[in-house]
Amino acid sequence: MAGVTLAALAAAAVLHGTVSIGPTTPVCRAGVPCEKPAAGVVLTFTRGTHVFRARTDGRGRYTITLPAGTYAVRASAGMRMTPVEVLVRAGSHLRGFAIDTGIR
């Protein structure tokens, strides 16, 4: 976190949540999950020249501490994810992300 000021760290936020991936089959059926946790995905949060990364665990969960601000967010190479921008405020916030497999 080189270049991040003490004031920015004081206004830091803990962002946590899950990343899901889906659809996992071409036809989704009632009562059958059509998405699953996205394990091992690297989330990259970029704000200006500052880059922060978090990796999801086996259940698709992640936790990252960031200075407050607006970040562009992307997943591991080649994955389409929403949302692609997040506003981070001081405190602890739950934020989920969804990766679209493109299966239709």
* Residue range 3-37, pLDDT digits in tens: 555 555 557 899 999 999 999 888 888 888 889 99
Per residue in 51-65, pLDDT (tens digit) is: 999 999 999 999 999
Whole-prediction pTM: 0.83
Phi, psi dihedral angles at 10 (to 5 degrees): -65, -30
Top CATH class, 6-100? mainly beta
